[in-house]
């Protein structure tokens, strides 16, 4: 996959710790060591607005879906709530004792959650008058590094090596222990059935939320040993930054159900990397597949849809032929497939 730089935003002084798009993708909101939040046009690169008020470096930013307000956090040990249009602070929320590293809001922006180096997660209801937390979650044994907030769940990644999923309706907490520090968490896959978890061992682990948090795939190739490296995902790709300044994008094809009997092991080898991935039994559509005949006749198939034994859920045939060796070049063009 080739990616070209379409815009460079250079208004910050010093390192940039966080950058996000608004819901339309037309604007980028960024924050960093210079204590400023900058709103820039993603197409022209022009600086639209600067938000000043933090006294310490900014660690994370979130914006509501309607782009009316944003929230930010950092070394101030507070959460700042901003009016986007007039660039003024509406509220400062207190409750943390150390640097606040991550922040999240729900869809309508009424609920804010923040995670801190003090190991706590604070939850605020912005519709209420008090500026102290509505609730404080203290289960983490180390700093909280990443948060995802939905209408019914709060997911928190921690340096203690765990991902905690809080069900706010059932008042339950589910803990998935990964054995290495967690620095980033993102929902992934159709209907958010999976979690993409970035770890300090330079891996992104894919957890099946419908199978007790089972790790179904691990993606490597980037470097993450010292800094918080963000990962993100959609229905087909997992992307991750790297300490060496590069970005990696992994194919991750999944469906409604992911069980061991439906899995296909794939070893992808290029001149630059060697990766072992685990896919569901639907292969990437753009690839030209050879040797796909389930009886081993070795017929070529220009159209991957000819792979009835995989794409149409013929489980018995798929179980007999679950190992593929795929050789690709630097541009991810497949040259050979061996079915074993």
Each residue of 63-86: pLDDT tens digit? 999 999 999 999 999 999 999 999
* Residue finishing a domain among 212, 227, 258: 258
* Average confidence (pLDDT) over 181-185: 93
pLDDT number for residue 4: 73
Judge if 137 and 17 occupy the same domain.
Answer: yes
Judge if 107 and 150 occupy the same domain.
Answer: yes
Cα 109 from chain centre: 20
d(CA 254, CA 235) in angstroms, rounded, equals 8
d(CA 112, CA 105) in angstroms, rounded, equals 5
The two three-digit tokens of residue 100, written as one number: 């606040």
Judge if 134 and 222 occupy the same domain.
Answer: no
In our burial notation (b when 16+ CB lie closer than 10 A, e otherwise), range 207-228 reads: bbbeeebebbbbbbbbbbeeeb
* Residue finishing a domain among 176, 211, 238: 176
Judge if 12 and 69 occupy the same domain.
Answer: yes
Judge if 29 and 156 occupy the same domain.
Answer: yes
Judge if 14 and 153 occupy the same domain.
Answer: yes
Comparing C-alpha atoms, which of 324, 218, 340 is closest to residue 269? Answer: 324
**pLDDT confidence bin for 243, thresholds 50/70/90:** confident
Find which of 47-56, 195-204, 215-224, 259-268 is predicted with most confidence, using mean pLDDT.
Answer: 47-56
Judge if 40 and 125 occupy the same domain.
Answer: yes
pLDDT number for residue 235: 62
d(CA 283, CA 180) in angstroms, rounded, equals 30
Whether 190 contacts 258, CB under 8 Å:
no
In total, how many domains does the chain have? Answer: 3
- Here the CATH number for the domain that contains residue 203 is 2.40.10
Give me the domain span that covers residue 18: 1-176
The residues, any chain, with a CB within 8 Å of residue 326's CB and separated by 6 or more, are: 266, 267, 268, 269, 287, 334, 336, 337
**How many beta carbons lie within 10 A of that of residue 177, not counting itself?**
12
List pLDDT tens digits, range 130-181. 888 999 999 999 999 999 998 889 999 999 999 999 998 888 999 999 999 9
d(CA 45, CA 41) in angstroms, rounded, equals 5
**pLDDT confidence bin for 108, thresholds 50/70/90:** confident
* Residue finishing a domain among 154, 176, 198: 176
Judge if 8 and 125 occupy the same domain.
Answer: yes
Judge if 100 and 35 occupy the same domain.
Answer: yes
Q: Kindly report the pTM of this predicted structure.
A: 0.72
Judge if 47 and 118 occupy the same domain.
Answer: yes
Give φ, ψ of 32 to 5 degrees. -165, -155
Cα 313 from chain centre: 29
- Here the CATH number for the domain that contains residue 121 is 2.130.10.10
Judge if 158 and 186 occupy the same domain.
Answer: no
Judge if 194 and 112 occupy the same domain.
Answer: no
The two three-digit tokens of residue 47, written as one number: 């600086």
Give φ, ψ of 325 to 5 degrees. -115, 115
List pLDDT tens digits, range 10-43. 999 988 999 999 989 899 999 999 999 999 999 8
């Amino acid at each position: 996959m080739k990616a070209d730089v379409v815009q460079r935003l250079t208004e910050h002084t010093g390192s940039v710790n966080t950058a996000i798009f608004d819901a339309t993708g037309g604007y980028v909101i960024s924050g960093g060591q210079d204590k400023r939040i900058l709103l820039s046009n993603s197409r022209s690169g022009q600086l639209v607005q600067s938000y000043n008020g933090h006294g310490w470096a900014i660690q994370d930013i979130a914006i509501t879906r309607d782009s009316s307000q944003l929230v930010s956090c950092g070394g101030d040990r507070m959460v700042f709530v901003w009016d986007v249009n007039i660039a003024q602070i509406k509220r400062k929320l207190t409750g943390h004792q150390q640097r606040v590293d991550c922040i999240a809001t729900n869809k309508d922006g009424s609920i804010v959650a923040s995670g801190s180096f003090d190991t706590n997660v604070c939850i605020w209801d912005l519709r209420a008058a008090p500026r102290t937390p509505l609730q404080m979650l203290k289960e983490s044994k180390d700093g909280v590094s990443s948060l995802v907030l939905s209408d019914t769940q709060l997911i928190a990644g921690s340096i203690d090596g765990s991902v905690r999923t809080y069900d706010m309706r059932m008042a339950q907490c589910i803990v998935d222990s990964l054995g290495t520090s967690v620095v980033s968490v993102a929902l992934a896959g159709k209907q958010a059935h999976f979690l993409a978890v970035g770890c300090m061992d330079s891996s992104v682990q894919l957890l099946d939320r419908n199978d007790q948090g089972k790790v179904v795939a691990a993606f490597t190739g980037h470097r993450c040993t010292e800094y918080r490296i963000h990962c993100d995902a959609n229905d087909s790709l997992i992307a991750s930054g790297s300490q060496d300044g590069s970005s990696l994008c992994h194919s991750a094809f999944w469906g409604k159900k992911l069980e061991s009997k439906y899995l296909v092991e794939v070893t992808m080898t290029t001149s630059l990397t060697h990766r072992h991935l685990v896919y569901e039994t639907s292969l990437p559509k753009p690839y030209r597949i050879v040797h796909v005949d389930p009886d081993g006749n070795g017929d070529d198939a220009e159209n991957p849809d000819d792979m009835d034994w995989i794409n149409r859920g013929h489980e018995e045939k798929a179980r007999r032929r679950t190992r593929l060796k795929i050789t690709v070049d630097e541009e991810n063009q497949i040259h050979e497939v061996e079915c074993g």
